[in-house]
Amino acid sequence: MKETFFRTMTWLHTWVGLLVCWVLLLVFFAGTVSYYRYEISLWTQPELHSEVFQHYQENHLEQQLAQGQDYLELHAENAKDWRINLPIERKPYLSYSWQTQPKAGQRRGEFIEHVVKTNDQGVVTETRDSKGGNFFYRLHFDLHYMPAKIARWIVGFCTMFMLLALISGIVIHKRIFKDFFSFRRNKGSRSWLDAHNVSSVLALPYHLMITYTGLITLMMMYMPWGVLTAYDGDTRAFRAELNPGREQVKPVGISADMVQINTLLPLVKSYWGETPIKQVVVTNLNDQNSRISFYKNTQQAVTDKRIPLVFSGVTGKLVSDIPDSPSATHATHDTLMSLHTARFSEPLLRVFFFICGIMGCAMIATGTLLWAVKIRQKQQKNIKNGAKPSLGLRLVEGLNLTFIAGLPVATCSFFYANRLLPTEMANRAQWEVNCFFITLTLVAMLACINRTQTSWRFVLRFGAIGLLAIPALNALTSNSHLINNISQQQWALVGFDMMCVLLGGALWFASNKLANKISLSTSSSPAKHKANITPKLASQITSTKGA
């Protein structure tokens, strides 16, 4: 298209990246945050911050299952299913949950979860209505305020753009090794380019992996054509062959007494040995066809498959097949899926995944900031003569401010809403989410009026103060504060507070750099001012000059 392939790829990289980068940033950001989905969910339910934490205890299992079954029989007699959730590393509590019978016209009933207090002190039945970490998890492929199907197509489309941008980016990055070791600070757009290169190249395998596996997680939706040709479009048959354990039996309508769940434990142990159990699910309650499924805690195994041991609830006989070791194809697919979800990663590895995710956000953010700086330089002469920056530039700068500076603030407001909205409020969970988007909209409105460094500094400071105060918020609105959590070794809660402080500090640092820059630009000559600019600020260099 251009004179050379290289130039074409440069052009492609710029435009493919720029067109969808804000959606991508939202997806990357929400996806990165949802590496700590359970930890966030735990933090957003302060009712659970004391009296419920426990480890998995093999020798209490029998008793826990018996108590669970009694409890569910008493409180959830007419439910659609029962679940007994045993403590795992990231959800350190025992809970009984059930799904009520779906109302007419709905596919699913309501999910209710009661968490068991330790030392036989009863159960916690009332937790605040909140989406917690699941909000971010859903946001990263279902977006919000729109049907999930449309959102997934939008996200898939943007992911394909991302893949294209990554490949074309690698092609145009001729001096990939040389540039890898060079970072030129204080050099305006050159610094932005270096920052873009560093964040891209350093985590390049991660970026490629997460983008491609992202497409693969939803490929049944994006590329159903194989099923169409090989199975004549019978998706159900394909899925059944893919996951034989997933088939669900229907109730026959003949009532029958169920066995005690804990009597099945020796049988489960004979198959799984000492592997901890994660969940027990009972379906078709008190029916001839009732089923009791055991799910194991896959721990650090790189797998995303939930292969249960299924027993008949009436006879206690095993009805599921023991799967053979998976074929190469299935293993590849499973590995790709679990690389994306990273369920296997223990705390240290999870931190690395999180850092890589942040690098991805940085890659996207520096890319679009770089574009804005370059275009502003191009238009500098006209702007100096009093002309307005072009519409495209204003749009990009506005969206940059909204998404790059706005996302951390919006996330912060979600946490504040979680703690400050009255617990008995109607539609509470939805209002927390609304707060997230209202904040984002407010930043967008600010961006419509003013896109200079003053706005950037204001939004960044706002986010920084909000995040730095999270431990205080937690201390004031829950019954356990940071010191308390440290002494009780509640690392999920401690980690949440510390992470907020760390990110808040980073935002404060960035806003301070901007503050130095502004005071410089009013007092010094342009030449000197240029020399004092840090990479973070370079994007705005020309905007103050223009003003």
Please give the residue ranges that form the binding site for other proteins (CB under 8 A): 1, 5, 8, 12, 160, 163-164, 167-168, 212, 215-216, 219-220, 222-223, 225-231, 238, 241-242, 327, 329-330, 332-333, 336
Beta strand 277-283 pairing with 123-124: unpaired
User: For residues 269 and 330, which CB has a smaller minimum distance to other proteins in the complex?
Assistant: 330
Asked if residue 399 lies in contact with residue 22, where contact means CB atoms within 8 angstroms, the answer is: yes
Minimum distance from residue 215 beta carbon to other proteins (Å): 5
Minimum distance from residue 338 beta carbon to other proteins (Å): 14
User: For residues 200 and 262, which CB has a smaller minimum distance to other proteins in the complex?
Assistant: 200
How far apart CA 428 and CA 443 sit, in angstroms, is: 23
Minimum distance from residue 375 beta carbon to other proteins (Å): 18
Structure tokens at 326: 């998976």
Structure tokens at 41: 């969910």
Question: H-helix or E-strand containing 519?
Answer: helix 491-523
- Continuous H helices in 401-469: 406-420, 428-449, 453-468
- Continuous H helices in 121-264: 133-142, 148-172, 176-180, 189-202, 204-217, 219-222, 225-230, 235-242
Minimum distance from residue 332 beta carbon to other proteins (Å): 7
Minimum distance from residue 225 beta carbon to other proteins (Å): 4
User: For residues 1 and 74, which CB has a smaller minimum distance to other proteins in the complex?
Assistant: 1
User: For residues 219 and 421, which CB has a smaller minimum distance to other proteins in the complex?
Assistant: 219
Minimum distance from residue 368 beta carbon to other proteins (Å): 19
User: For residues 243 and 434, which CB has a smaller minimum distance to other proteins in the complex?
Assistant: 243
For the CA atoms of the chain, what is the radius of gyration?
A: 27
Minimum distance from residue 3 beta carbon to other proteins (Å): 10
User: For residues 222 and 491, which CB has a smaller minimum distance to other proteins in the complex?
Assistant: 222
How far apart CA 240 and CA 324 sit, in angstroms, is: 15
User: For residues 117 and 333, which CB has a smaller minimum distance to other proteins in the complex?
Assistant: 333
User: For residues 190 and 330, which CB has a smaller minimum distance to other proteins in the complex?
Assistant: 330
User: For residues 337 and 475, which CB has a smaller minimum distance to other proteins in the complex?
Assistant: 337
DSSP structure class, residue 249: P
Q: How far is CA 251 from the centre of its chain?
A: 36
Minimum distance from residue 163 beta carbon to other proteins (Å): 6
User: For residues 328 and 348, which CB has a smaller minimum distance to other proteins in the complex?
Assistant: 328
DSSP structure class, residue 53: -
Structure tokens at 102: 């779906």
Is 460 exposed, middle or buried (CB count within 10 Å of its CB: 0-12, 13-18, 19+)? buried
Looking from the CA of 316 toward its CB, the CA atoms found within 13 Å total 12
User: For residues 169 and 466, which CB has a smaller minimum distance to other proteins in the complex?
Assistant: 169
Minimum distance from residue 308 beta carbon to other proteins (Å): 20
List the one residue out of 203, 216, 225 whose CA is nearest residue 159. 216
Minimum distance from residue 157 beta carbon to other proteins (Å): 8
**Residue 154 neighbours by CB under 8 Å, 6+ apart:** 23, 143
Question: H-helix or E-strand containing 539?
Answer: none
Contacts of 315-320 with C-beta under 8 Å, sequence gap 24+, read 315/259, 316/259, 316/263, 316/264, 316/267, 318/267, 319/291, 320/244, 320/245, 320/293
Minimum distance from residue 220 beta carbon to other proteins (Å): 7
